[in-house]
Amino acid sequence: MNELLVVTCHENERLHETLSYALEGVAFERVSSSVALPLLAGRRVLFAIGLSEHGLDAEVIALIAALRQSPNLMQGSTGAILLDGTGELYTKQTADMLALAANLAGCRFPGKPLVEATGSLDNWNIQSLRRGVSLLGAYRQAARELVQRLLEFSPKKKPRPKVLLLHASDRTTSNTLQIGMRISEKIEPYCDIHEISLINGAIFDCRGCSYKTCSHFARQNSCFYGGVITNDVYPAINECDALLLLCPNYNDSVSANILAFINRLTSVVVYNGLYDKQIFSVIVSGYSGSDIIAQQVIGALCLNKTFSLPPRFCLMQTANNPGEAMQAEGIEERIDAFAARMLESLYEKDDSTGI
């Protein structure tokens, strides 16, 4: 069934009106989240969520819990999220949680699949100036564009996709890198893999230049700071079909070099989005918290920086001492399954060669 499925949850008046505007002329079926669960597989699904000031609304929690409990609930689906908050907080947190739960249940997301409104609509200040409309007008236009993006999106497969393997890990000790290299071996017969290590060069974090300065450098495919990011990473990002990002958990965050890389991507997306590229990730925590890292990667690279998110985009593993990850029970099977998912999402058999 190709008709858009709109799943409403805790719908407020502003969300109701924004939805009406966004869906004008679109064929859709609308259901409340409390009855939507059996309908979610194989559909284009717009989650339309109203959020109270304190954030943790029972209906939203029930939806996320149901997704977490059923690993195939959104098999074959493509999703997007429209989220309308009453207060200034918790919209992003809710979107990150919902996106990860849906993704692990099989949902694919196009790049930038979230349109959110805080209670004041102040998060639309810049867009309202750029678009020359009111805050509410900018929010509604973006919601309409989101619906179109969801309806039109389909991932690009290629006979020999280019995968950028990016990390900042020590080759002799890192659990994350050992898993990453094993995945690389599995997909290598079908993909061109370009590995970049950020560990040896000094990586400066984003300087936070003005939009004008950032755009000036972006026009030359550059950035205020040069170095490995502009010389090696920018061209490799522009070339690749997918990024495989290796993320050890450092204090419940991606490590500093990986975060600096993400921040410096701003220059790349000023003119060209990364909508046609997919993001995959390996996440290893010594003790716990890989879900927080997964949400950080989704929030930064898919919701913000416009990479599309393939179903079950990450392999998460707990391991601390060097070598522990590759000794974990079932790790080879999880690596095999992950590599197979990467190929399913990226690789198109070339009928002319029979490969």
Ligand X SMILES: Cc1cc2nc3c(=O)[nH]c(=O)nc-3n(C[C@H](O)[C@H](O)[C@H](O)COP(=O)(O)O)c2cc1C
Sites of contact with ligand X (CB under 6 A): 169, 174-176, 248-252, 284-289, 319-320
Question: Could you write out the DSSP letters of every residue in 227-273?
Answer: SHIIIIIHHHHHH-SEEEEEEE-SSSS--HHHHHHHHHTHHHHTTS-
Q: How far is the CB of 320 from ligand X (least distance, A)?
A: 5
Q: How far is the CB of 44 from ligand X (least distance, A)?
A: 36
Q: What is the dihedral of CA 53, 78, 6, 35, to 10 degrees?
A: -90
Q: 192: which residues sit within 8 A by CB, 6+ positions away?
A: 160, 161, 162, 163
Q: How far is the CB of 260 from ligand X (least distance, A)?
A: 15
What is the residue type of 252? D
Q: How far is the CB of 90 from ligand X (least distance, A)?
A: 23
**Closer residue to ligand X, CB minimum distance, 8 or 174:** 174
Give the gyration radius of the chain's Cα atoms.
20
**Closer residue to ligand X, CB minimum distance, 230 or 281:** 281
Both tokens of residue 30?
A: 């609308």
3-state secondary structure of 285: strand
Q: 62: which residues sit within 8 A by CB, 6+ positions away?
A: 33, 34
**Closer residue to ligand X, CB minimum distance, 2 or 251:** 251
Q: How far is the CB of 317 from ligand X (least distance, A)?
A: 8
Phi (first) and psi of residue 284, to 5 degrees: -125, 130
**Closer residue to ligand X, CB minimum distance, 49 or 284:** 284
CA distances, 83 to each of 47, 49, 88, 273 (Å): 8, 5, 12, 22
Tell me the Ramachandran region of residue 306: left when phi exceeds 0, alpha when psi lies from -120 to 50, beta otherwise: left
Cβ count near 88 (within 10 Å)? 12
Q: How far is the CB of 246 from ligand X (least distance, A)?
A: 7
Q: How far is the CB of 294 from ligand X (least distance, A)?
A: 13
**Closer residue to ligand X, CB minimum distance, 25 or 287:** 287
**Closer residue to ligand X, CB minimum distance, 67 or 177:** 177
**Closer residue to ligand X, CB minimum distance, 91 or 174:** 174
CA distance 222 to 322: 37
For the chain, what is the largest distance between any 2 Cα atoms, rounded to a whole number of angstroms? 58
Q: How far is the CB of 316 from ligand X (least distance, A)?
A: 11
**Closer residue to ligand X, CB minimum distance, 120 or 320:** 320
Both tokens of residue 3?
A: 């008709």
Q: How far is the CB of 334 from ligand X (least distance, A)?
A: 16
Q: In this chain, which residue has its C-beta nearest to ligand X?
A: 286
CA distance 26 to 81: 17
**Closer residue to ligand X, CB minimum distance, 141 or 178:** 178
